[in-house]
Amino acid sequence: MTREPSITAYDGGPFLVRGPVRIVGEDGEELAIRRAIVPLCRCGRSREAPICDGSHAITRRRAGAAGTSPPDGS
């Protein structure tokens, strides 16, 4: 049985894509997906874009340590 694709948005984090999907980069090339759940970047800081690499969490920690709010207000 094949699952329906779904996308879950996490506050301050990535979109998690579950199920059988094709992901195509801005260059038109299909990305090789090797996972059942794919995190897609929402913050624009990922070096692996469009795949999330966790950069949003690092930026949030630095902003909190500096005594300022992160750009997304969380």
Contact 25, 31 (CB under 8 A): yes
Mean pLDDT of the residues in the chain = 82
pLDDT number for residue 30: 95
Cα–Cα dist 13/45, whole Å: 11
Q: In the predicted model, what is the mean pLDDT of residues 55-66? A: 66
Determine contact, residues 18/8, Cβ cutoff 8 Å. Answer: yes
What domains appear along the chain, each with residue ranges and CATH number? 6-65 (3.40.5)
Give per-residue pLDDT as tens, 18-51: 999 999 988 999 999 888 899 999 999 999 999 9
